[in-house]
Amino acid sequence: MKEARAQRTVLITAAESDGSVETREIEPYSLRPGKQGAEQRLFGWCMTRNAIRSWSISNIQKSEPTGNDFSPRWPIEF
């Protein structure tokens, strides 16, 4: 992901586990396989929740760059 390597945040719109759809600004860090062969998950720092979060790729409906820089909290794996 180009934005992650450039240390810029991304807005993602994704379905949450309760069925709601949320748009959040995140610091993207990695794409990893889910548990026991489940689909890949995007891991990032959620600015809204002020916590590390992950999203199933199929739940992400839209992503767009913000142009906002961030200082990495962990190594970026993209």
Query: How does pLDDT run across 32-78, given as a tens digit for each residue?
Result: 988 887 899 999 999 999 999 999 999 999 999 999 999 999 999 98
Under a CB-based contact definition with an 8 Å cutoff, are residues 42 and 24 in contact?
Answer: no
Task: Examine the pLDDT at 17 and tell me if it is beyond 90.
Answer: no
The DSSP symbol for 3 reads H
User: What average pLDDT does the segment 14-32 reach?
Assistant: 96
Residue 65: the pLDDT is 98
Residue 37: the pLDDT is 77
Task: Examine the pLDDT at 11 and tell me if it is beyond 80.
Answer: yes
